[in-house]
A and B are shown apart, each in its own frame.
Chain A
Amino acid sequence: MENEAMAANMQSQGVAGEDETCMATPDFASEAEQGLTDEGMACAKAQGLASGNVAFVESQVAAGGDESCDEARDLADGCAMCAGAQAPAGEAVTPEEDSSTNAVEDADSDEFCAHEELVSLLAQQAAGYELLGRLFQREVDAGLLRSLCEGRYPAHTGNDHLDEGYRGLVVFLNHRGERTGTELNVDYLHVFIGNTQDTSHVAYPYESVYTSPDRLLMQDARDAVLAAYRSEMITLVNEHNEPEDHMGFELAFCAVLLRRAVEALTAGNTARAIELVEKERAFVRDHLGVWAPEFAADVKRIAQTGFYRALADILLGYLEVDTATMEAVAAELGE
């Protein structure tokens, strides 16, 4: 069955199996989306991420609005027929167990189930990218901090970076106090914007800085990223005049690609879904994967709060898991 094949495929890649892969994504997608909405930002729309002052505006895709958002959230909540993508570890059904049940009896149901699993998986990956993108784009506000506290973080994902990141994040959240928000704002400034002349003590969140010989802004990487955005008819609306190769935007772009893949799959356009998944894989490989490790190392070195040190680990872990997951998804879609 396709869903079994997919799970087996993921395991063969050395990645956590079907349920474990989903476990690698914290179960905070819907809460986080709600938090974003509460703070006056557009929720993580199915057609892309829009977030307050800094947003992607898609010039071609029909607006999905909140209905699309709800739809995506519903999809992310998983297929009732499947062994739930978000099922707790203890309740997750292994492929073997699944095959021994009578829940899915005919080939059509199997195909539908696998399709829904893919949609769910892609939506969940997109939600993770949206949240990560938001966390790097600007400071954590009260609503987002509240949402993070309501999130669920798996202790054992099978990825060392994610494990360390989630542990560090929860330790930080468990020691939060009334001044935590202020501390995070100060640390965001300290780490990503800088309050020193010593540039080695700032983790500038731009790909160009990490990939150009002189560590300058607006270099080749920015042009390449801009071209990637334009290839999907996406325009960056950016009141802060941040370069397009900002970490937050690159992560948000991955979310847009995966949300569109969800739409394509839902509409039965598998060819388009494959194209989008391949684009996302290429973008991660050619951009995020190139500079994220050094950037994350700088964040861990410079950050004064456990929050941003944990975020650096989560970023690395998420990219690693996503790379393997999307490879499996691409293989599944290609069959």
Chain B
Amino acid sequence: MDNVDVLERLHSVARVADAFEAVPGNQRVLMAVLQACREPQTSEELDAIMAPILENNRSVHSAVELRKVLEDHGGIRYVKSDEEELAEAKMRDAEENGEVEIPEIDDEGFYVVSTPAPGAWQLTEAGQAYLDGDPVGAYARDLLETREPQYAPVYRELLELLSEGPATKQEVDKVAESNPLTAEPRMYGGHFVGELEKAGAAEWDGAWAITEYGRTLLAELAATGRE
């Protein structure tokens, strides 16, 4: 791989990362789509994956729009089914020949409204490279090692709280705000749990809960003694 290829690859991966900036607050659902698209997924299958996540994040973006964002940023692509390809070719031929497209007519004289087999969404190379770069871990590392290393004890306490079971906002606030580190400057629980959510370590489902990655992160924090 020459330098040009490397630069192009980095650029395409950066574009995928930009998708997360384009629709802030949707990290979890976008990541779920990327992960799911490691295997081909129909729109309906992706809807089933995305709906429970979108239910709680109050996003103004629909599942269809979020897929479009990822597609526009080169993270996923839609591969048409043979039937969809055929229908498109028929339309293209009619346009090129200046003809009117006539749908199929059934034996009773009615047009047939067809429902072609659905195509599938797949991860692109850039999307694959983005996932291979461990974006979730990268966010947490950036958070705890670069941006807010001084608050690592607060993050660990919060993860410990969530590991015991779902916690209310008030419980999160209580833990975060009782730590002396958050007194000056004044920092609130919402900031910390929000960062944990962006890092994929916590999720809201009527209450704040720890994710599998959150448990991994908690173990890492405990093991490395990052405080």
- Report A149-186 CB contacts with B as 1/0, cut-off 8 Å: 11111111000000000110011011100110110000
| B108 interface neighbour in A89, A149, A150, A181, Cβ under 8 Å | A89
CB contacts under 8 Å to A, within B75-122, are 87-88, 91, 100-103, 105, 107-115
**Nearest 5 A/B pairs, CB to CB:** A88-B108, A170-B111, A89-B109, A170-B103, A152-B110
- Report A127-157 CB contacts with B as 1/0, cut-off 8 Å: 0000000000000000000000111111110
Give how many A-B residue pairs fall within 8 Å (CB-CB): 56
CB contacts under 8 Å to A, within B38-95, are 43, 64-65, 67-68, 87-88, 91
* Residue A27 interfacial (CB < 8 Å): yes
| A175 interface neighbour in B68, B91, B108, Cβ under 8 Å | B91
CB within 8 Å for A175 and B87 given contacts A149-B115, A155-B111: yes
CB within 8 Å for A178 and B101 given contacts A152-B110, A153-B110: no
How many residues from A make CB contacts under 8 Å with B?
25
A181 touches B113 (CB 8 A): no
Other than the known A90-B109, A154-B111, A175-B87, what 15 A-B pairs have Cβ atoms closer than 8 Å?
A23-B109, A88-B109, A88-B110, A90-B108, A151-B113, A154-B109, A155-B105, A156-B109, A166-B111, A167-B103, A170-B113, A171-B101, A174-B87, A175-B88, A179-B68
By a beta-carbon cutoff of 8 Å, the part of chain A in contact with chain B is 23, 27, 88-91, 149-156, 166-167, 170-171, 173-175, 178-179, 181-182
Q: Least Cβ distance of A39 to chain B in Å?
A: 16
Chain B residues lying within 8 Å of A89, measured Cβ to Cβ, are 108-109
Q: How far is the CA of A150 from the CA of B111 in the complex (A)?
A: 11
* 26 contacts across the A-B interface (CB closer than 8 A): A88-B109, A89-B108, A89-B109, A90-B108, A91-B108, A154-B109, A154-B110, A154-B111, A155-B105, A155-B110, A156-B109, A167-B100, A167-B111, A170-B103, A170-B111, A170-B112, A171-B101, A173-B113, A174-B103, A174-B113, A174-B114, A175-B88, A175-B91, A178-B64, A178-B67, A179-B64
A27 touches B111 (CB 8 A): no
A171 touches B108 (CB 8 A): no
Q: Least Cβ distance of A239 to chain B in Å?
A: 22
CB within 8 Å for A182 and B108 given contacts A149-B115, A174-B113: no
A182 touches B87 (CB 8 A): no
Chain B residues lying within 8 Å of A91, measured Cβ to Cβ, are 108
CB within 8 Å for A153 and B115 given contacts A170-B103, A171-B101, A175-B88: no
Q: How far is the CA of A94 from the CA of B107 in the complex (A)?
A: 19
Q: How far is the CA of A90 from the CA of B102 in the complex (A)?
A: 20
Chain A residues lying within 8 Å of B101, measured Cβ to Cβ, are 171
Using CB atoms, name the residue of chain B closest to A88.
B108
Q: How far is the CA of A156 from the CA of B103 in the complex (A)?
A: 12
Q: How far is the CA of A23 from the CA of B103 in the complex (A)?
A: 18
Chain A residues lying within 8 Å of B114, measured Cβ to Cβ, are 174
Chain B residues lying within 8 Å of A174, measured Cβ to Cβ, are 87, 103, 113-114
Q: Least Cβ distance of B61 to chain A in Å?
A: 11
Q: How far is the CA of A91 from the CA of B107 in the complex (A)?
A: 11
Q: How far is the CA of A179 from the CA of B119 in the complex (A)?
A: 14
Q: Least Cβ distance of B47 to chain A in Å?
A: 9
Q: Least Cβ distance of B204 to chain A in Å?
A: 26
B109 touches A181 (CB 8 A): no
Q: How far is the CA of A170 from the CA of B104 in the complex (A)?
A: 9
Chain A residues lying within 8 Å of B64, measured Cβ to Cβ, are 178-179, 181-182
| A155 interface neighbour in B65, B88, B100, B109, Cβ under 8 Å | B109
Chain A residues lying within 8 Å of B65, measured Cβ to Cβ, are 182
Q: Least Cβ distance of B46 to chain A in Å?
A: 9
A167 touches B108 (CB 8 A): no
Q: Least Cβ distance of A84 to chain B in Å?
A: 13
Chain A residues lying within 8 Å of B111, measured Cβ to Cβ, are 152-155, 166-167, 170
Using CB atoms, name the residue of chain B closest to A90.
B108
Q: How far is the CA of A157 from the CA of B216 in the complex (A)?
A: 67
Chain B residues lying within 8 Å of A170, measured Cβ to Cβ, are 103, 111-113
